[in-house]
Amino acid sequence: MTINKLRFCAVLIGAFAAGSLLTARLMKIQEARAASNRVYELRFYHTYPGRLTPLVTRFRNGEVQVFEKNHMNFMGAWVPQDAPNHENLFIYLLAHESREAAKKNWAGFGADPDWKTIQKTSEADGKIVEKVDNWFLDPTDFSPLK
């Protein structure tokens, strides 16, 4: 091989490597941007005594569907195994496209006629939720929920 051919091959390999690195970095930036807005909302509902079962029933029989209708991705719900929280604490996780979307989603949910009917029916015997704690969460880079 001549020196010119070797130089050409070296330049070609270098250009390919640089292009590959640039493409890989751009893809990671795009992935990070796409994932960076998604936010999770962890909610803890503390119920009045004896009102956990009606809350679970309300979620099972319609509230989750109203979440989904209002662009809230319902990820799951839990009840602690151990007393005293087993008797009055309901925990669930939602995903939103962004914090701004969460605000819009909750406004839509609150105005939704299906939600108003579900709430009125489920609270015919009295209020269910005494207190709500919630946090917006960002997934870590190693989280499967990115």
What CATH number has the domain spanning 38-137? 3.30.70.100
Query: Higher model confidence: residue 140 or residue 34?
Result: 140
Neighbours of 90 (CB within 10 A): 22
- Map out the domains of the chain as residue ranges: 1-36, 38-137
Q: Give me the chain's average pLDDT, please.
A: 84
At 13 the pLDDT is 56
Helix (H) or strand (E) holding 131: strand 129-137
Beta-strand relationship, 89-96 and 39-47: antiparallel
Query: Higher model confidence: residue 12 or residue 42?
Result: 42
Q: Is the pLDDT of residue 143 over 50?
A: yes
At 48 the pLDDT is 97
Q: pTM for this one?
A: 0.73
At 7 the pLDDT is 56
Sheet strand arrangement including 73-78 = 73-78, 89-96, 39-47, 129-137
Q: Is the pLDDT of residue 130 over 70?
A: yes
User: What is the Cα–Cα distance from 114 to 102, expressed in whole angstroms?
Assistant: 19
Choose the weakest-confidence range: 14-18, 66-70, 135-139.
14-18
Q: Is the pLDDT of residue 18 over 50?
A: yes
